A and B are shown apart, each in its own frame.
Chain A
Amino acid sequence: MKGNRLQVAALAVALLVPALGGQCLAAGKVHKLGLSLAITGPTSDAGNPYAKGVEDYFRLVNDTEMLGEDTIDCMIRDDQYNNDITKRNFEDFLAEDIIFYLNYSTGSTLALKKDFEEERIAVMPASFHAGNTADTNYVFLPIASYSTQLVGLGEYVAANHNEGVAKVALFIHPSAFGRGPVEDLQKAIKAGLKLDIVEVVEHGKDLDNTAMLKRLMSKGTQYVLTHTVQSPVATMLKDASGLGLTAKSFGEAGKLTFLGCHYTGGNDLVALAGDAAENFHWVTSYIVTNEPGPGATAQLQLAARYGRDDKAANSHNYANGMMVAQVVTELIKRAKAGGGEVTREAMHRELLAMNGDRSFSPGTTVGPVTFSTTDKAGVDTLQLYVVKDGLFHSSGLPFTPVYTDKIK
Chain B
Amino acid sequence: MATNRWLATGNFFSSYREEQRIFFTALDRSALLAAVCLLALWPLLVTIDSKFMLVIDTILVAVVAVLGLNLVTGFAGLISIGHAAFVGIGAYTVASFARLLGENHVVLTHAWPLLILLGGLVGAAFGALVGLPAMRLKHLYLAIATLSFQMIFQWVINFMDFFNQGQTIAIGRVAWPGGTVTRGQHYLFWYYIILTVIVVLAFAVRNLLRTRYGRCLIAVRDNDRAADAMGMHPGLTKVYAFALAGFFAGVAGGLQAYLYRGVGIESFTLHHSINYLAMAIVGGLGTLHGAFWGPAAIKALDLLVESFSSWVGEILTISGNLATAFKPLSFGLVIVLFLMFEPRGVANWWRIARSYVKQWPFRY
Taking Cβ atoms with an 8 Å cutoff, the residues of A that contact B are: 39-41, 44, 48, 78, 80, 82-85, 87-89, 91-92, 94-95, 107, 110-111, 113-115, 118-119, 131, 174-176, 179
When chains A and B are docked, how far (Å) is the Cα of A91 from the Cα of B260?
Answer: 12
If the complex has contacts A39-B323, A78-B309, A110-B167, are A87 and B266 also in contact, measured as CB distance less than 8 A? no
Q: What mask results when residues 157 to 199 of chain B are scored 1 for a CB within 8 Å of chain A, else 0? A: 0100000011110100000000000010000000000000000
CB pair B306–A78 under 8 Å, yes or no, is: yes
Is the beta-carbon distance between B170 and A95 smaller than 8 angstroms?
no
Q: Does B254 contact A (CB under 8 A)?
A: no
User: Roughly how many angstroms separate A114 CA and B263 CA in the complex, as a whole number?
Assistant: 13
Chain B CB within 10 Å, residue with most, of A41, A44, A78? A78
Q: Within B50-97, which residues are at the interface with A (CB < 8 Å)?
A: 50-51, 54-55, 58
Which chain B residues border A91 with CB–CB below 8 Å?
49-51, 54
A96 to chain B, nearest CB (A): 10
Contacts known (A87-B260, A92-B51, A114-B170); A107 close to B320, Cβ less than 8 A: no
Q: Are B267 and A87 in contact (CB under 8 A)?
A: no
Other-chain contact of A95, B49, B260, B261 (Cβ < 8 Å): B49
Q: Is the CB of B264 within 8 A of A83?
A: yes
Q: A92-B51, A114-B262 are in contact. Are A83 and B166 (CB under 8 A)?
A: no
Measured CB to CB, the closest approach of chain A to B1, in angstroms, equals 49
B324 at the interface (CB under 8 A from A): yes
Distance, CA A89 to CA B310, complexed state (A): 13
Query: Does B344 sit at the interface, judged by CB under 8 A?
Result: no
Contact across chains for B166 and A176 when beta carbons are under 8 A apart: yes
Determine if A174 and B158 form an interchain contact, defined as CB atoms under 8 angstroms apart: yes
Contact: B167 with A95, CB < 8 Å? no
- Per DSSP, chain B at the interface is helix
**Closest chain B residue to A83, Cβ basis:** B266
Q: Give the shortest distance, in Å, between A194 (CB) and chain B (any CB).
A: 28
Asked if B206 is an interface residue, CB under 8 A from chain A, the answer is no
Complex Cα distance, B302 from A80, in Å, reads: 12
In the bound assembly, the distance between CA atoms of A111 and B167 in angstroms comes to 8
CA distance A48 to B183 in the complex (A): 32
> Which of chain A's residues has its CB closest to B170's CB?
A114
B327: CB under 8 A from chain A? yes
Minimum distance in angstroms from B262 CB to a CB of chain A: 5
Do A40 and B309 have beta carbons less than 8 Å apart? yes
Q: Residues of B contacting A118 with CB < 8 Å?
A: 183
A107 near B266 with CB under 8 A, answer yes
Which residue among A40, A88, A91 has the maximum number of chain B CB atoms within 10 Å of its CB? A40
8 closest residue pairs by CB, A with B: A40-B324, A176-B167, A91-B51, A91-B50, A92-B51, A110-B168, A111-B168, A95-B49
Contact of A44 among B49, B51, B310, B324 (CB under 8 A): B324
A78 to B321, CA, bound (A): 13
Tell me the bound Cα distance from A80 to B303 in angstroms: 12
Q: Which of B183, B261, B266, B313 has the most CB of A within 10 A?
A: B266
State in angstroms the CA–CA spacing of A226 and B51 once bound together.
Answer: 38
The answer for the CA separation of A44 and B266 in the assembled complex, in Å, is 17
Asked if B166 and A175 sit within 8 Å, CB to CB, the answer is yes
CB neighbours of B55 from chain A (8 A): 88
> Which B282-309 residues have C-beta < 8 A from chain A?
306, 309
Question: B167 contacts which chain A residues (CB < 8 A)?
Answer: 107, 110, 131, 176
Q: Which of A44, A113, A119 contacts B320 (CB 8 A)?
A: A44
State A107–B266 Cα separation when bound (angstroms): 8
24 contacts between A and B (CB under 8 A): A39-B313, A40-B309, A40-B323, A40-B324, A44-B320, A48-B320, A78-B306, A83-B267, A84-B260, A84-B267, A91-B49, A91-B50, A91-B51, A94-B50, A95-B49, A95-B51, A107-B168, A110-B264, A111-B260, A114-B262, A115-B261, A119-B183, A175-B166, A176-B165
Contact between B49 and A78, CB atoms less than 8 A apart: no
**Contacts A41-B324, A44-B324, A78-B310 given; does A114 touch B54 at CB 8 Å:** no
- Measured between alpha carbons, how far is A40 from B326 in the docked complex, in Å? 10
Q: In the complex, are the beta carbons of A111 and B58 less than 8 A apart?
A: no
Contact string against A for B residues 90-134, beta-carbon threshold 8 Å, 1 for contact and 0 otherwise:
000000000000000000000000000000000000000000000
**Inter-subunit contact A92/B49 (CB<8 Å):** yes
- Residues of A within 8 Å of B54, CB to CB, are 87-88, 91
Closest B residue, CB atoms, query A85: B306
- A39 close to B320 (CB less than 8 A): yes
CA distance A91 to B49 in the complex (A): 8
Q: Which residues of A contact B58 (CB under 8 A)?
A: 84
Complex contacts, B264 vs chain A, CB 8 Å:
83, 107, 110-111
How far does the Cβ of B355 sit from chain A's closest Cβ, in whole Å? 37
Residues of B309-349 contacting chain A, CB below 8 A: 309-310, 313, 320, 323-324, 327
State the CA gap A205–B198 with chains docked (Å). 40
Q: Which residues of A contact B168 (CB under 8 A)?
A: 107, 110-111, 113
A102 to chain B, nearest CB (A): 18
The residue in chain B whose Cβ has the minimal distance to the Cβ of A174 is B158
Report which of B158, B165, B267, B320 forms a contact with A40, defined as CB distance below 8 A.
B320
The interface residues of chain A lying within 8 Å CB-to-CB of B260 are: 84, 87, 111
**Which residue of the partner chain B has the closest CB to A40?**
B324
